[in-house]
């Protein structure tokens, strides 16, 4: 099994337990207005620290929401 861009909590822990405040951030980013509150809006390229316009455009075409419960 290969994990990319991930972290693995200890047994009995959740992803939200690893980063204080992350569950609050994800709660705010849920797509409630679109009746898809089980999904969390991705961070923007700028929030990832990307500044190159070409890279930003490439990322925007590929970023998508992820399920809230992947961290729960």
> Considering its fold, how many domains does the chain have in total?
1
9, part of any domain = no
Alpha-carbon distance of 36 to 13, in angstroms, equals 26
40, part of any domain = yes
Q: Is the pTM of this model over 0.95?
A: no
Over residues 14-35, the pLDDT tens digits come to: 889 988 999 999 999 999 988 9
50, part of any domain = yes
Residue 57 — very low, low, confident or very high, per pLDDT cuts 50/70/90? very high
Please report the pLDDT score of residue 34 as a whole number: 86
Closest CA to 63 of 47, 45, 36, 51: 45
41, part of any domain = yes
Please report the pLDDT score of residue 19 as a whole number: 87
**44: which residues sit within 8 A by CB, 6+ positions away?**
60, 63
- Structural domain span for residue 61: 15-70
**∠ Cα 55 29 64 (to 5°):** 40
């Amino acid at each position: 099994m290969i994990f990319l861009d991930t972290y693995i909590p200890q047994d009995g822990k959740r992803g939200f337990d690893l980063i204080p405040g992350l569950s609050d951030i994800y709660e705010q980013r849920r797509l409630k207005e679109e009746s898809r509150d089980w999904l969390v809006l991705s961070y923007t390229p700028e929030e990832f620290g990307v500044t190159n316009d070409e890279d930003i455009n490439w990322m925007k075409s590929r970023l998508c929401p992820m399920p809230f419960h992947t961290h729960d």
